[in-house]
Amino acid sequence: MNKQMKKKVVAIGGGTGLSVLLRGLKRHQVDITAIVAVSDDGGSTGRIREQLGIPAPGDIRNVIAALSNVEPMLEQIFQYRFKSQDDGGELSGHSLGNVILAAMTDITGSFATGVRELGKVLNVKGHVLPASDSYITLHAEMEDGEIVSGESKIPKCGKGVKHVFLTPSDIRPHPYAKRAILEADLIVMSPGSLYTSLLPNLIIPGMSDYIAGSSARKAYICNVMTQHGETQNYRASDHIRAIVDHIGDDCIQTVVVNKQDLLPQNVILKYKEEVAIPVEMDIDNLLKMNLNVIEDDVVLLEGTSVRHDGLKISKILAEMIGVK
């Protein structure tokens, strides 16, 4: 008798939010495909991207680490970051994993192929797809009409974002993205920086058409805290509207939000220093948008930092498609 096929989950995003989600999801019996942002231009990632003309490796590196099944020491080596040196040496501030991804690109002749082959080496559970195999740049039109170019520069403006877009205009999604999305049982848009981690994946030409055309259930994990320079004073519904304005209203059916519990005062004060506040979970407005709303306690406190609980979120997502 044939074994029952695993349910297929496609997770889309970047940054810490996607990695946290995937560390939880890999504990379930699901077939995971991660579609990961490659537009970061800051830090080690930005330097490698600029010098070698390849897609940004940083978020890819974190996702590979999250989905890998290797000895902890090997993951620690892969994530090792060389200390910054006053003389700005060639390895100063670089992540070893970023350097390895650059080497794999050179060896295989393709960034996407290098990612795939490195996934085999590190025994990754699932498939890691860069959103595109192209060198892309993220731009934002701010609310005052200014155009800001470069992912790392957008939040630093401290202005509201009106719209984001990519160059060059002929970017295409990873060739396997279409099949993964159309065959998925669940598509998840991960938490994280809305305009600089999530949307850069979704606005690649063709990507939103794949999502809209998929029969999968489609869920968005809403952020818990606002982010200065991107989502200041945003409610949960404002996050949804931003996504809908960019890719249409056929791409989200369910939104997972955190219960609106009061955070400790020291946590509130810490985020206030970063010009950030808890996202208002305006459930009534979400329901008026014809969304299925799942409200649960899905955060962890790490000192004064608020993080999504990957185990709880992955359990919610697994239950959506009938997986224990």
Q: What is the pLDDT of residues 17-47, one digit of tens each?
A: 999 999 999 999 999 999 999 999 988 888 8
Tokens 């008798």: give the residue.
1
How far, CA to CA in Å, does 125 sit from each of 29, 134, 166, 249? 10, 25, 30, 31
Domains of the chain are: 1-37+131-324 (3.40.50.10680), 41-128 (no CATH)
Q: What is the pLDDT of residues 173-217, one digit of tens each?
A: 999 999 999 999 999 999 999 999 999 999 999 999 999 999 999
75, pLDDT greater than 80? yes
pTM exceeding 0.85? yes
Q: What per-residue confidence (pLDDT) applies to 266?
A: 94
Q: What per-residue confidence (pLDDT) applies to 324?
A: 79
Q: What per-residue confidence (pLDDT) applies to 276?
A: 95
- Cα–Cα distance for residue pair 64/145, rounded to 1 Å: 37
Confidence of residue 88 (pLDDT cuts 50, 70, 90): low
Which phi and psi angles does 106 have, rounded to 5°? -70, -40
261-272 average pLDDT score? 91
Which phi and psi angles does 187 have, rounded to 5°? -115, 125
Angle, alpha carbons 305-30-297 (nearest 5°): 30
Q: Are 219 and 189 in contact (CB under 8 A)?
A: yes
Q: What is the CA radius of gyration of the chain?
A: 19
Average of per-residue pLDDT values in the chain: 93
Per cent of the chain over pLDDT 70 is 97
317-321 average pLDDT score? 97
Q: What per-residue confidence (pLDDT) applies to 2?
A: 45
How does DSSP classify residue 55? -
Q: What is the pLDDT of residues 111-163, one digit of tens each?
A: 999 999 999 999 999 999 999 999 999 999 999 999 999 999 999 988 889 99
Sequence-distant (6+) residues with CB within 8 A of 305 are 267, 270
DSSP letters, 131-182, are: S-SS--EEEEEETTS-EEESGGGTGGG-S-EEEEEEESTT----TTHHHHHH
